[in-house]
Amino acid sequence: MIPSKKKIDELKELVKRDFGVEWTDQEASDEAFNLLNFYDALGRFAMEDIQKYIDTGGEPSFAGPDYDKWLAEQAEIVKKIQADRKEVSKSKKRKG
């Protein structure tokens, strides 16, 4: 994922304002790229955990009850999205 010039400039302003550090365009671009990839990885890890939770029928994780509660909430959202997608797909097949 490549951040836009606008977002890189916003990141430079934030770092200067909050930390008193001035980054070059290249430094800001590199850090923005790293941050985006870090959060992308976190999102993929979370989605893997959610899908595993769904596939195992709600098997508890080793992360503790707060994480399990979060997994259960997210799993319900994902299951609804998956059900909605199936319904849309069936509807398209009937029409087409």
User: Both tokens of residue 36?
Assistant: 């985006």
3-state secondary structure of 90: helix
Please write the tens of the pLDDT for every residue from 14-50.
999 999 999 999 999 999 999 999 999 999 999 999 9
Residue 63 has what pLDDT? Answer: 83
Let me know: does 71 contact 42? Beta carbons within 8 Å: no
Identity at 34, one-letter amino acid code = N
Average pLDDT over residues 49-59: 89
Please write the tens of the pLDDT for every residue from 65-96.
899 999 999 999 999 999 999 888 888 888 76
Residue 58 has what pLDDT? Answer: 85
Residue 87 has what pLDDT? Answer: 87
Residue 94 has what pLDDT? Answer: 80
Measure Cα distances from 73 to 53, 67, 76 in Å: 11, 10, 5
Let me know: does 54 contact 83? Beta carbons within 8 Å: no
